[in-house]
């Protein structure tokens, strides 16, 4: 998969107006990374991303796996 260009101001979830920067911040609030599904649940709890239409789910999963894999 192509790496995602990281633009902190880019809105990744339009329904909830969550930006890539928000995702990044949510992830860095805790230091122990487990698996992508769990991180997604955490980020979702903190940012409410992907609680609208759900159309951003795959994109957010991809971003999270990219961030946690460095
Ligand atoms: S764009 Fe994220 S829930 Fe609709």
* pLDDT, mean of residues 40-47: 95
Q: Give Cα 69 distance to the centre of its chain.
A: 13
d(CA 68, ligand 1 centre) in Å? 21
Q: Would you place residue 59 in the very low, low, confident or very high pLDDT band (cuts 50, 70, 90)? A: very high
pLDDT at 4: 60
Give the pTM. Answer: 0.85
Q: Is the CB of residue 58 below 6 angstroms from any atom belonging to ligand 1? A: no
Residues 6+ apart with CB under 8 A from 48: 16, 18
Q: Is the CB of residue 61 below 6 angstroms from any atom belonging to ligand 1? A: no
Question: In the predicted model, is pLDDT for residue 35 greater than 90?
Answer: no
What CATH number is given for 11-68 in this structure?
A: 1.10.10.1100
Higher pLDDT, 62 or 70: 62
For all residues of the chain together, what is the average pLDDT?
A: 89
Pair 21, 47: CB distance under 8 Å: no
Parse the chain into domains and list their residue ranges.
11-68
């Amino acid at each position: 998969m192509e790496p995602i260009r990281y633009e902190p101001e880019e809105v990744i979830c339009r329904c909830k107006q969550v930006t890539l920067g928000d995702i990044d911040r949510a992830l860095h609030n805790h230091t122990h990374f487990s698996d992508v599904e769990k991180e997604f649940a955490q980020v979702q709890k903190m940012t409410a991303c992907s609680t609208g239409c759900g159309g951003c789910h795959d994109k957010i999963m991809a971003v999270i796996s990219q961030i946690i894999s460095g």
